[in-house]
């Protein structure tokens, strides 16, 4: 007799998701599906809106990474109006962006995905959350986590207007210059951020790497896929969050492609499945071969792990050290272990914090000229950034008045969608055996998903909404036999 | 208070208005429908709600059934709203808890489809019921009235109104654009039908105005702007320099005689250009004030600055001639205004086939009035431009009137003045007189009799509109300077050609040029033709859309002297009734600001045309000066916080009305 | 006395409202001591079945964010309504529909067509595959919730007791609401848990706004330098502060960008967009009818401007029938 | 909310117009049309405002929401406003409102702002007739019904559930 298991909703991630697990007669997994049941339709309803409103409208795709959409939109508008922000404009954007990346990564590690390790995957569910983390790490560390995040968020608000759905970016720069006294605050927070990032890496060492069970789990085949990886790099192939070219490495770690974001349509295509509102991106150059790994399948990943794999080095010294250690411990490039993403995220967190330090001390930062006023007629613009969860592309076409006529938004979780679906399926197959479906096993399936820090709100900007993930279990005769956790 | 106001008890009264409403709308059904509406305690229908028994019906129900709100479905609220408000008030409920549904003007009288009419009637009644349920009692605020009246126009109507008011002891400011009182009437020699001497009628009245201690006469003056509202208007009056000091001049005319212009070379407008004058002149001998005026366009001293100024010398010690006079603006506060700006006569030159302006022998009636006037350019002799006396004179009626190309209306006085002219011309010249008429309209006392008298005097009446007029030469008739009129004699059924020496065009009366400006300035409305519109043709014939502004005379529509005088007295009586009250109740529909809801965003402040809104800098909110607010509600519509509200027109009341209009099909 | 049980849940939401709760930072820990957080899918492992397992009315307060877009959103709204004694419409999407409510400018069909059908950028999957309510896969049936024709507000599908507005709700207002729950000092139901006055009241720029009519031209923010001190409207930039509820500490304005109206209207206003439109149009400084028409035509996108956050909650709610497409027409 | 169609008995569609008339020009014009016994369609239901400047765009939307197929606003001709220029202030809002409703799929022809002076009874008649004709061509305004919780089929807690911890007073 076979069964179907559904996880409904998937929790501790942004947006809604459900996992359907179909079992065979022996109670082993035939296939697990991640469904994303929301659609909001941004690409449609931005049509007719003024292009300059895009940074604020598209930020509403996601309240977790609004800054990514805000800045990606602004970069697309730079291209649309053919303007280059003056140094202060660009650096204010970069400073806010790195601060955002830092705090968002911190949020994930301490509040969303991290608790699985920090508290433990089998801990009672009521503790697998930020409150449990605070309890586990002690009130002092907990307070520190909260304090640094607050400082970072307040810094974004100080410069960007609001931390959630900021308002600062406009075509050609930002809305207002930075006051010298505000810059002092930036320096303070940047220094604290670096300290905190280093402390977090130490915590990761102690809580995760020191625990062989966790190391084994990270390296286990259940959480491993050999796929392509994509990320932004600068002219020296160093990791870059704000700008650069998109570089793709093959499963063997060698450069496969490198292209400016404006060429993305030559290389990225979307595949639709009738059972999910999310569209599955893949490499056009390889083609869609289904939910398959390996060099013959166009499935690729983005995000912290992908970015480290796609770059040759990191732009800042301390992060570079952490980067080298990451590959030393995990056996060289590329790393295919999905759960290693948590570590990669912390390496990036340090890189972002160091960049904050550099930018905060840059004399350009407080120059009064922050915006280049557009003069060209708008036609088309493409902008890219590395969002915390991976590559994010905004693409607009407008009429002569700058009203949007068409928009395409390729978000991180869409890029990752195929690999996520495979991870869920593979983890389910590995973890559910002989009909033994317990809550710990299901949480471990969710962990496969959570490592990506997927943002289904983003992924389904096109459509929308969800509670988080749920697992439903179906038997071989396709009857829903169980919902996990069990309904009373 | 009879019952708690927040528990509405509404009575609905559907008026039949005789058959006016009941003939088009099933009033019984409507009342039955009204009974089913929320808060309606009873609904009745009755023959005439505005009648005494009708009002009593409402009053009885208010008392017996403890109604606290009333809806009357009858005629326009502009007709009887006050009537029903008073009735309700007398029965003990606040007048603003009464709402009118306009079934007569808006439904019964205009509807084409019975079912649609019934639906609309229901909708309007339901809207009134929904709305009135949310009404709250309001108080009218009393403001003092300035006991002074402005009369605009010194023609017969203005003169009459001013005298009546002044005789009643009220201060009057009488403004006349020309240098003299008198208007059109001063141009005539005789009046119809009694052929009294016009000067004998008019001159004493003009003098009475001049001498009246309560009247301030401002000639050569025009109202420039009016602000304020009923009870308190501020009028800005521009006074053109006359260059002769009215207080010092005794009217001896020495200055005119001594003017360097030895001959009269400037056409005198008062004589319609048939007579001439000097740069300093008196428009006509009986002018009031009897003070010459200097034409600034013609006087050498004023135009070139160089002149011997013999006028000054002639005036001598009196020193009344004053070239330093300048135009100035005076401001006067008044409680009521009577507009009596008169009319102008139709200019017939556009009717090319009547030859006016082309043939010297074609005259307008007004020109002939001047010829006939003993004080006119020919001292009362009817002579042609060459000085000869005509032997055959044609009078064409309805020139510019009853003619869809010009004015569709009948000018009302032309038949009678044409008869008068026919009589006088025949009497003074013995000429054959031909009257070309469509039909003779001679209503009124002694008018038909006068018509008969003129017929008996031998005037030829030819029924038919004058078709065209040409020169005698064109028609091969030997008559130097003569004309031939072509007319379709509809009684004889043939086209006739009649040789004439003179043709008189009985031109229409039309609104004065500039009437539009005056109308706007005084906040009145106009009829289609451009005459000032009375508030109601029967019930309020001298009132206008602006409560303190009244109309008199031909500015409201063509009328004869007798009617103008009567209307002037009516206007004076209305003005008197108004200013004598001492105070006036203002409608309570002013705006107010909810201080808690107002964000001080200043959106409303620049919108107020009366500067009634300002921002209280301490509270950072807007405040309304209700004494200045006129209740337009423009600030209310603009307020994005619903902090501004208008009494009687709150947002909620209008939403209720919308809901009522549409909730029942 | 037991701690009040509080839940947070989301429907069609971006998660920003939940982020705003995270931004309570230290205060969140404080509240965790005095409140029992029994539901928070964004941050905690409670599944739908956990909610279903609750007794009706077991939660004292449920903060529901997000608009209502699908059958699943409706079910979740109904579930939370049943399980919570007091339901709070949390954030602008729940309150008025929010930015995703702009989808009501178009039909559901045109929306699906754009996302899955049109090969606008040449990268859509061929064959017009679209997500289906139920898909037969070899292993069984995988189902998706169906999208409703229109985006709705929470209050349009269930009775709502309180509104905590904002996109996202300002952290200060969230803290105040939670504190009031702890202390039992919430205002009576049907209240909006924010100041009931518009933004201009405390706006640092209000003194620079002239008393006279001021819109002689309408500017778009990217076309001009923006003065950091002067009233935006006085600069010709559309600022909806006069129509928008205060409570955000003027975050956008401090960021030198005009208010776009995310907290919605104050309580006397029925339709935010129409009220804001009236206020803005009233400022137009012209008496010439042609000039007025030309001036208002400079507002490139009235619907997207005045209903940025509130189309589902507006009187019209959704585009009326006829051809789809929400772009402005000449 | 009532059905927009006139009735279910197969009769032709009769549009419903909500007409906001100012007290000084268009309302008296409407009275004059009556006094002159002009005949015109009884589809316009009248609300009197003191001035067209009082017209809040929300009223227009409320009328459409309540089931009107069109809205007519009548004010004084330019220069004639009893309140100086309330009519022009109305025009400013109306122009923008027209652009807004067009984006919301409502034909701008359904909304009209006309200057009709107190003497222009004929114009009033013609405008109403013309508008009725136009609305008949456009057909009923089919707005999606406003969703309401009572129609969503959601079962609610019995009101017996009383405040406990943290509840409002």
Dihedral angle, C-alpha B217, B220, B226, B228, nearest 10 °: -20
Q: What is the mean pLDDT of residues B509-520?
A: 92
The token pair at A441 is 């096993």
Convert the pLDDT of each residue in C24-83 to its tens digit: 888 888 888 899 888 887 666 666 777 888 889 989 999 999 999 888 889 889 999 999
Window B:602-631, CB contacts with D under 8 Å: 607, 609, 630-631
Chain C: residue nearest D154 by CA? C78
Q: What is the mean pLDDT of residues B392-399?
A: 97
Q: What kind of architecture, by CATH, is found in domain B344-510? A: 3-Layer(bba) Sandwich (3.50)
Q: Where would I find the beta strands (DSSP E) of chain C? A: 5-10, 36-39, 59-65, 68-70, 84-90, 134-137, 140-143, 147-152, 162-164, 191-192
Chain A: residue nearest C112 by CA? A41
- Whether residue A43 lies within 8 A of chain C, CB to CB, comes out as yes
What are the chain B neighbours of D83 within 8 Å (beta carbons)? 609, 630, 632, 634
Q: Which domains does chain D have, with CATH numbers?
A: 17-144 (3.40.50)
Chain C: residue nearest A145 by CA? C25
Handedness of CA B476, B477, B481, B482 (dihedral sign): negative
Give the pairing of strands B583-586 and C68-70. unpaired
Least Cα distance to D144 among C311, C81, A298 occurs for C311
Convert the pLDDT of each residue in B360-384 to its tens digit: 999 999 999 999 999 899 999 999 9
Q: Output the pLDDT for position A447.
A: 82
Chains that touch B (3 or more CB pairs under 8 A): C, D
Chain C: residue nearest D143 by CA? C320
Chain A: residue nearest C319 by CA? A45
Q: Output the pLDDT for position A164.
A: 94
Q: Is the pTM of this model over 0.95?
A: no
The token pair at C4 is 């009040």
- Whether residue C78 lies within 8 A of chain A, CB to CB, comes out as no
Chain A: residue nearest C251 by CA? A161
- Cis (ω within 30 of 0) for the bond into A175? no
Q: Strand pairing partners for B183?
A: none
DSSP state of C113: I
Which residue numbers in chain A have pLDDT < 70? 1-5, 7-17, 36-39, 125, 128, 454-488
Q: Considering only A131-135, B165-169, B307-311, B456-460, which range has the smallest mean pLDDT?
A: A131-135
- Whether residue B597 lies within 8 A of chain C, CB to CB, comes out as yes
By CB atoms closer than 10 A (0-12, 13-18, 19+), residue B96 is buried
What are the chain C neighbours of D147 within 8 Å (beta carbons)? 150, 152, 156-157, 317
Domain boundaries, chain B: 10-140, 254-318, 344-510, 590-646
CB A156 within 8 A of CB A67: yes
Dihedral angle, C-alpha A332, A337, A343, A349, nearest 10 °: 90
The answer on pLDDT for D159 being more than 70 is: no
Q: Output the pLDDT for position C324.
A: 41
Q: Output the pLDDT for position B423.
A: 96
- Whether residue B659 lies within 8 A of chain C, CB to CB, comes out as no
B110 contacts D42? CB cut-off 8 A: yes
Q: Which domains does chain C have, with CATH numbers?
A: 5-99+149-192 (3.40.50.700), 199-306 (no CATH)
CB B96 within 8 A of CB B648: yes
Residue from B640, B644, B658, B659 to probe the interface with C (highest C Cβ count within 10 Å): B640
By CB atoms closer than 10 A (0-12, 13-18, 19+), residue B443 is exposed
Residue from B594, B599, B616 to probe the interface with C (highest C Cβ count within 10 Å): B599
Q: Considering only B413-422, B599-608, C144-153, C241-250, which range has the smallest mean pLDDT?
A: C144-153
Distance from CA of C127 to the nearest CA of D (A): 31
Give me the phi and psi of C30, to 5 degrees please: -60, -50
The token pair at D67 is 């089931």
Average pLDDT over chain C reads: 88
Cα–Cα–Cα angle for B564, B567, B568, nearest 5°?
85
The answer on pLDDT for B16 being more than 90 is: yes
Contacts across the A-C interface (CB distance below 8 Å): 339
CB D71 within 8 A of CB D112: yes
C315 contacts D64? CB cut-off 8 A: yes
Q: Across the interface, which of C187, C274, C286 has its CB nearest the CB of D57?
A: C274
Dihedral-angle region of residue A156 (phi above 0 means left; psi in -120 to 50 means alpha; beta otherwise): alpha
By CB atoms closer than 10 A (0-12, 13-18, 19+), residue B520 is middle
C211 contacts B640? CB cut-off 8 A: no
Distance between CA atoms of residues A400 and A403, nearest Å: 7
Window D:103-162, CB contacts with C under 8 Å: 103-107, 141-144, 146-149, 152, 154-157, 161
Q: Output the pLDDT for position D168.
A: 52
Q: Across the interface, which of B599, B634, B643 has its CB nearest the CB of C199?
A: B599
Q: At A464, is the secondary structure helix, strand, or coil? A: strand
B527 contacts D119? CB cut-off 8 A: yes
- Domain over B10-140 is classified CATH 2.40.50: no
CB A119 within 8 A of CB A203: no
B523 contacts D25? CB cut-off 8 A: no
The token pair at B34 is 């009204």
Where do runs of H (alpha helix) occur along A169-298? Answer: 180-204, 212-219, 264-267
C53 contacts A373? CB cut-off 8 A: no
Q: Can chain B be said to touch chain D, i.e. do they have 3 or more Cβ pairs within 8 angstroms?
A: yes
Residue from C5, C16, C108, C116 to probe the interface with A (highest A Cβ count within 10 Å): C16
- C-beta neighbour count of C109 within 10 angstroms: 12
Q: Output the pLDDT for position A482.
A: 54
Q: What is the mean pLDDT of residues B84-88?
A: 96
- Whether residue B576 lies within 8 A of chain C, CB to CB, comes out as no
- CA C137 vs. chain centroid, Å, equals 37
- Whether residue B616 lies within 8 A of chain C, CB to CB, comes out as no
Q: Across the interface, which of D62, D103, D167 has its CB nearest the CB of C326?
A: D103
Residue D163: band (very low, low, confident or very high) from pLDDT cuts 50, 70, 90: very low
Q: Output the pLDDT for position A454.
A: 66
The answer on pLDDT for B8 being more than 50 is: yes
CB B113 within 8 A of CB B24: no
Distance from CA of B643 to the nearest CA of C (A): 7
D93 contacts C81? CB cut-off 8 A: no
Distance between CA atoms of residues A402 and A77, nearest Å: 10
Q: Output the pLDDT for position A37.
A: 59
B112 contacts D30? CB cut-off 8 A: no
Least Cα distance to B531 among B385, B394, B408, B619 occurs for B408
- Whether residue A5 lies within 8 A of chain C, CB to CB, comes out as no
C140 contacts A4? CB cut-off 8 A: yes
Distance between CA atoms of residues A245 and C113, nearest Å: 31
Residue from B612, B643, B661, B664 to probe the interface with D (highest D Cβ count within 10 Å): B661
Q: Across the interface, which of C40, C142, C254 has its CB nearest the CB of A33?
A: C142
Distance between CA atoms of residues A52 and C223, nearest Å: 9
Count helices and strands in chain D by DSSP H and E runs: 4, 4
- Domain over B590-646 is classified CATH 3.30.70.20: yes
A485 contacts C308? CB cut-off 8 A: no
CB B338 within 8 A of CB B551: yes
The answer on pLDDT for B323 being more than 70 is: yes
What are the chain C neighbours of B650 within 8 Å (beta carbons)? none
- CA A106 vs. chain centroid, Å, equals 12
Q: What is the mean pLDDT of residues D52-64?
A: 98
What are the chain A neighbours of C204 within 8 Å (beta carbons)? none
Dihedral-angle region of residue A160 (phi above 0 means left; psi in -120 to 50 means alpha; beta otherwise): alpha
CB A323 within 8 A of CB A312: no
Q: Output the pLDDT for position B625.
A: 87
Q: Output the pLDDT for position A475.
A: 64
Complex ipTM above 0.85?
yes
- Whether residue C224 lies within 8 A of chain A, CB to CB, comes out as yes
CB A346 within 8 A of CB A271: no
Q: Across the interface, which of A129, A150, A478 has its CB nearest the CB of C141?
A: A478
- Whether residue C23 lies within 8 A of chain A, CB to CB, comes out as yes
Q: What is the mean pLDDT of residues D132-157?
A: 82
Window B:501-530, CB contacts with D under 8 Å: 520, 523, 525-528
Distance between CA atoms of residues B386 and C67, nearest Å: 95
Convert the pLDDT of each residue in D14-54 to its tens digit: 999 999 999 999 999 999 999 999 999 999 999 999 999 99
- Whether residue B655 lies within 8 A of chain C, CB to CB, comes out as yes
Which of B75-84, B227-236, C205-214, D152-161 ranks highest by mean pLDDT? B75-84
Q: Considering only A230-234, B210-214, B500-504, C145-149, which range has the smallest mean pLDDT?
A: C145-149
Where do runs of H (alpha helix) occur along B391-529? Answer: 414-429, 447-456, 515-521
Least Cα distance to C300 among A44, A51, A78 occurs for A51
By CB atoms closer than 10 A (0-12, 13-18, 19+), residue A140 is exposed
The token pair at A263 is 């060429």
Distance between CA atoms of residues A174 and C257, nearest Å: 10
In sequence order, the 6+-apart residues with CB closer than 8 A to the CB of C126 are C119
By CB atoms closer than 10 A (0-12, 13-18, 19+), residue B456 is exposed
């Amino acid at each position: 007799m076979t069964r179907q298991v559904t996880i409904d909703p998937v929790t501790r991630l942004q947006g809604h998701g459900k996992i359907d697990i179909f079992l065979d007669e022996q109670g082993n997994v035939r296939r697990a599906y991640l469904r994303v049941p929301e659609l909001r339709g941004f690409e449609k309803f931005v049509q007719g809106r003024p292009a300059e409103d895009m940074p604020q409208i598209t930020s509403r795709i996601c309240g977790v990474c609004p800054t990514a959409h805000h800045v990606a939109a602004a970069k697309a508008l730079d291209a649309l109006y053919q303007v280059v922000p003056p140094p202060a404009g660009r650096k204010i954007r970069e400073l806010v962006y790195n601060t955002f990346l830092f705090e968002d990564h911190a949020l994930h590690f301490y509040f969303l995905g991290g608790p699985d390790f920090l508290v433990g995957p089998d801990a009672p569910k009521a503790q697998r959350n930020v409150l449990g983390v605070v309890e586990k790490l002690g009130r002092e560390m907990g307070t520190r986590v909260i304090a640094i995040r607050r400082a970072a968020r307040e810094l974004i608000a100080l410069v960007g207007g609001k931390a959630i759905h900021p308002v600062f970016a406009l075509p050609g720069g930002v809305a207002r210059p930075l006051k010298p006294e505000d810059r002092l605050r930036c320096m303070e927070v940047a220094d604290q951020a670096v300290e905190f990032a280093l402390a977090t890496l130490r915590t990761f060492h102690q809580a995760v790497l020191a625990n062989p069970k966790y190391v084994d789990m990270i390296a286990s085949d259940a959480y491993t896929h050999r796929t392509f990886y994509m990320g932004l790099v600068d002219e020296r192939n160093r990791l870059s969050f704000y700008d650069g070219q998109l570089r793709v490495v093959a499963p063997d770690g060698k450069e496969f492609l490198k292209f400016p974001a404006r060429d993305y349509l030559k290389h990225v295509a979307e595949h639709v499945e009738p059972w999910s509102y999310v569209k599955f991106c893949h490499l056009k150059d390889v083609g869609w071969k289904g939910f398959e790994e390996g060099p013959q399948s166009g499935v690729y990943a983005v995000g912290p792990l992908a970015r480290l794999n796609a770059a040759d080095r990191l732009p800042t010294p301390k992060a570079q050290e952490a980067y080298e250690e990451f590959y030393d411990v995990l056996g060289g490039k590329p790393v295919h272990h999905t759960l290693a993403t948590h570590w990669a995220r912390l390496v990036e967190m340090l890189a972002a914090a160091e960049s904050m330090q550099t930018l905060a001390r840059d004399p350009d930062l407080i120059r009064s000229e922050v915006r280049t006023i557009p003069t060209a007629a708008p036609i088309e613009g493409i902008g890219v950034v590395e969002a915390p969860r991976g590559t994010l592309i905004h693409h607009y076409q407008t009429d002569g008045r700058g009203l949007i006529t068409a928009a395409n938004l390729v978000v991180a979780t869409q890029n990752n969608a195929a690999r996520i679906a495979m991870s869920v399926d593979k983890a389910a197959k590995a973890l559910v055996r002989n009909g033994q479906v317990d809550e710990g096993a299901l949480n471990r399936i969710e962990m496969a998903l959570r490592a990506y820090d997927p943002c289904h709100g983003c992924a389904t900007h096109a459509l929308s909404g969800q509670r988080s993930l749920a697992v439903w279990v179906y038997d071989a005769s396709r009857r829903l036999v169980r919902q996990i956790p069990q309904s009373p | 208070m009879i019952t708690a106001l927040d528990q509405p008890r509404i009575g609905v009264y559907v008026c039949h208005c005789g058959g006016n409403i009941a003939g088009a709308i099933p009033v019984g059904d409507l009342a039955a429908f009204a009974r089913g509406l929320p808060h309606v305690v009873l609904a009745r229908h009755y023959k005439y709600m505005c009648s005494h028994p009708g009002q009593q019906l409402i009053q009885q129900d208010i008392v017996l059934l403890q109604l606290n709100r009333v809806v009357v479905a009858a005629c326009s609220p502009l007709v009887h709203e006050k009537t029903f408000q008073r009735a309700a008030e007398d029965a003990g409920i606040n007048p603003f808890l009464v709402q009118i549904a306009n079934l007569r003007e808006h439904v019964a009288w205009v509807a084409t489809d019975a079912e649609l009419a019934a639906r609309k009637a229901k909708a309007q009644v339901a809207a009134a019921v929904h709305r009135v349920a949310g009404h709250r009692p309001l108080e009218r605020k009393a403001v003092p009235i300035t006991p002074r009246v402005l009369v605009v126009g010194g023609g017969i109507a203005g003169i009459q109104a001013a005298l009546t008011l002044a005789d009643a002891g009220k201060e009057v400011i009488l403004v006349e654009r020309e240098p003299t009182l008198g208007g059109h009437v001063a141009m005539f020699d005789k009046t119809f039908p009694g052929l009294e001497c016009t000067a004998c009628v008019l001159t004493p009245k003009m003098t009475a105005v001049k001498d009246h201690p309560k009247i301030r006469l401002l000639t050569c003056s025009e109202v420039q702007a009016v602000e304020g509202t009923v009870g308190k208007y501020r009028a800005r009056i521009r006074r053109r320099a006359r260059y002769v000091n009215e207080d010092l001049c005794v009217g001896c005319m020495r200055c005119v005689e001594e003017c360097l212009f030895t001959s009269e070379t400037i056409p005198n407008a008062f004589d319609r250009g048939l007579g001439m004058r000097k740069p300093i002149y008196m428009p006509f001998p009986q002018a009031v004030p009897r003070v010459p005026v200097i034409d600034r366009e013609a006087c050498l001293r004023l135009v070139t600055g160089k002149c011997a100024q013999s006028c000054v010398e002639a005036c001598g010690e009196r020193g009344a001639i004053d070239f330093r006079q300048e135009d100035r603006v005076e401001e006067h506060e008044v409680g009521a205004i009577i507009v009596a700006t008169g009319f102008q006569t139709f200019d017939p030159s556009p009717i090319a086939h009547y030859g006016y302006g082309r043939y010297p022998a074609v005259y307008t009636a007004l020109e002939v009035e001047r010829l006939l006037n003993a004080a006119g350019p020919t001292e009362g002799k009817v002579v042609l431009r060459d000085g000869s006396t005509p032997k055959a004179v044609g009078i064409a009626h309805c020139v510019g009137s009853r003619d869809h190309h010009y004015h569709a209306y009948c000018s009302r006085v032309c038949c009678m003045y044409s008869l008068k002219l026919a009589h006088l011309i025949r009497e003074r010249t013995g000429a054959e007189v031909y009257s070309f008429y469509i039909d003779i309209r001679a209503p009124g006392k002694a008018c038909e009799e006068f018509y008969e008298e003129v017929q008996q005097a031998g005037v030829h009446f030819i029924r038919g509109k004058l078709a065209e007029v040409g020169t005698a030469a064109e028609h091969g008739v030997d008559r130097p300077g003569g004309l031939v009129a072509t007319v379709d004699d509809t009684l004889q059924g043939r086209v006739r050609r009649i040789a004439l020496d003179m043709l008189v065009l009985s031109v229409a009366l039309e609104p004065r040029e500039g009437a539009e400006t005056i109308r706007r300035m005084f906040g009145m409305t106009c009829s289609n033709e451009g005459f000032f519109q009375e508030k109601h043709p029967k019930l309020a014939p001298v009132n206008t859309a602006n409560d303190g502004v009244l109309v008199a005379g031909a500015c409201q529509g063509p009328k004869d002297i007798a009617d103008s005088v009567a209307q002037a007295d009516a206007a004076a009586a209305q003005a008197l009734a108004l200013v004598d009250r001492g105070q006036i109740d203002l409608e309570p529909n002013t705006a107010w600001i909810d201080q808690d809801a107002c964000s001080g965003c200043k959106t409303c402040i620049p919108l107020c045309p009366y500067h009634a809104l300002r921002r209280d800098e301490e509270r950072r909110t807007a405040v309304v000066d209700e004494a200045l607010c006129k209740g337009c509600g423009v600030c209310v519509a603009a307020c994005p916080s619903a902090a501004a509200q208008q009494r009687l027109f709150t947002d909620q009341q209008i939403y209720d009305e919308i809901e009522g209009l549409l909730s029942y099909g | 006395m037991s701690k009040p049980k509080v839940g947070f849940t989301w429907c069609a939401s971006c998660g920003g409202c939940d982020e705003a709760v995270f931004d309570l930072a230290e205060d969140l820990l404080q509240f965790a001591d005095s409140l029992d957080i029994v539901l928070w899918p964004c941050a905690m492992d409670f599944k739908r079945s956990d909610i279903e397992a609750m007794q009706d009315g077991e939660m004292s307060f449920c903060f529901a964010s997000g608009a209502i877009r699908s059958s699943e959103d409706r079910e979740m709204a109904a579930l939370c309504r049943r399980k919570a004694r007091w339901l709070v419409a949390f954030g602008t999407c729940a309150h008025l529909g929010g930015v995703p409510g702009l989808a009501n400018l178009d039909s559901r069909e045109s929306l699906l067509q754009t996302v899955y059908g049109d090969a606008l950028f040449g990268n859509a999957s061929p064959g017009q595959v679209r997500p289906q309510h139920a898909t037969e896969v070899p292993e069984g049936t995988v189902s998706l919730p169906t999208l409703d024709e229109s985006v709705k507000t929470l209050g349009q599908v269930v009775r709502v007791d309180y509104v905590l507005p904002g996109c996202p709700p300002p952290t200060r207002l969230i803290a105040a609401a939670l504190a009031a729950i702890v202390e039992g000092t919430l205002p009576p139901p049907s209240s909006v848990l924010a100041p009931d006055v518009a933004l201009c009241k405390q706006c640092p720029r209000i003194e620079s706004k002239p008393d006279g009519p001021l819109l002689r031209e309408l500017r778009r923010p990217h076309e001009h330098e923006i003065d950091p001190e002067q009233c935006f409207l006085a600069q010709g930039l559309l600022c909806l502060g006069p129509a928008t509820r205060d409570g955000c500490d003027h975050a956008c304005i401090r960021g030198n960008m005009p208010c776009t109206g995310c907290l919605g209207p104050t309580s006397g206003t029925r339709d935010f967009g129409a009220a804001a439109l009236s206020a803005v149009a009233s400022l137009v400084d012209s008496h010439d009818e042609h000039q007025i028409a030309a001036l208002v035509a400079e507002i490139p996108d009235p619907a997207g401007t005045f209903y940025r956050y509130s189309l589902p909650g507006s009187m019209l709610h959704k585009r009326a029938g006829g051809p789809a497409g929400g772009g402005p027409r000449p | 909310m009532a059905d927009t169609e006139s009735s279910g008995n197969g009769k032709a569609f009769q549009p419903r117009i909500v007409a906001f008339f100012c007290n000084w020009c268009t309302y008296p014009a409407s009275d004059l049309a009556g006094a002159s016994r002009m005949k015109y369609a009884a589809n316009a239901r009248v609300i009197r405002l003191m001035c067209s400047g009082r017209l809040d765009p929300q009223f227009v939307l409320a009328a459409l929401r309540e089931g009107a197929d069109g809205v007519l606003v009548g004010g004084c001709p330019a220069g004639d406003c009893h309140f100086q220029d309330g009519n022009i202030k109305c025009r400013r809002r109306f122009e923008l409102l027209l652009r807004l409703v067009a984006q919301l799929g409502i034909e701008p022809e359904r909304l009209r702002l006309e200057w009709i002076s107190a003497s222009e009874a004929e114009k009033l008649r013609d405008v109403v007739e013309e508008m009725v004709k136009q609305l008949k061509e456009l057909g009923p305004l089919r707005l999606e019904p406003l969703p309401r919780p009572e129609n969503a089929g959601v079962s609610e807690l019995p009101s017996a559930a009383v405040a406990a911890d943290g509840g409002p007073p």
